[in-house]
Amino acid sequence: MRRRILPPSRSTVVKLLLSALALAAASAAVAKESPDLARAQEIVEGKCFICHGADGESSSPVFPRLAGQNAAYVARQLADYASGKRRSTTMQPMVEGLTAEDFKLLGTWFETRPTRAHDVEDPELAQMGRFIFTRGNPYSGVASCASCHGADGHGSTTLPRLAGQHAQYTENQLRQFNKRERTNDNAVMHTIASKLTELELKAVASYISGLK
């Protein structure tokens, strides 16, 4: 004797429909909150990759590595380029036509790119830099880099990730802080950079380049 299969009751159908609607609403909310990284990728492929690489792993030491960089920091720097608060004949044309939302998307894009470990060119120099990075120079009043950027050099939402950055780029930025050529960031950096000797500057930049 064949068993008769009864259709689902009205209450069951209602419950299933409500569950489906709830799932659809949740999915829509997630999609709305998620950044449109396709837009970010479009900008990167049209502008950024030439200097910074598609994944933020720039091949030239004069351009910063952006992979893993804090999203809010990237967005703020781009906004500063757009407003002229931070000056660069290379970057100013790149940010023309981009919006504040684009800056946020680009920040998220680069923050989510995988970082790589990099070999240090001069390990002995980097060891001296380790002391400066972790303890500063108490004899000249130089504060440790770790006190603001963290022991791992990963920074925060307001301070940049330093870990793995090109040594040459870090050196260049410290020199710009010292000469007051870069004025859009924390004024504390002007004081710190002005107290670093050339050897200390190169040493700490070397150490930073090897951080993961």
Find tokens 């925060």 and name the residue.
156
Question: Model confidence at 34, in pLDDT bands (50, 70, 90)?
Answer: low
Tokens of 47: 């502008």
129 and 197 both lie in a single domain: yes
130 and 184 both lie in a single domain: yes
Mean pLDDT computed over 134-156:
97
Residue 118 lies in a domain: no
85 and 142 both lie in a single domain: no
pLDDT surpassing 80 at residue 138: yes
- Tally of domains in the chain: 2
Residue 205 lies in a domain: yes
Please give, one letter per residue, the 3-state secondary structure of 45-105. Answer: HHHHHHHHCCCCCCCCCCCCCCCCCCHHHHHHHHHHHHHCCCCCCCHHHHHCCCCHHHHHH
107 and 76 both lie in a single domain: yes
Tell if the pTM clears 0.85, that is, is over it: no
Helices (H) and strands (E) in the chain, counts: 11, 0
User: What CATH number did the domain enclosing 152 receive?
Assistant: 1.10.760.10
Residue 29 lies in a domain: no
45 and 80 both lie in a single domain: yes
Express each pLDDT in 46-94 by its tens digit. 999 999 999 999 989 999 999 999 999 999 999 999 999 999 999 999 9
Which domain, by its residues, includes 149? Answer: 123-209
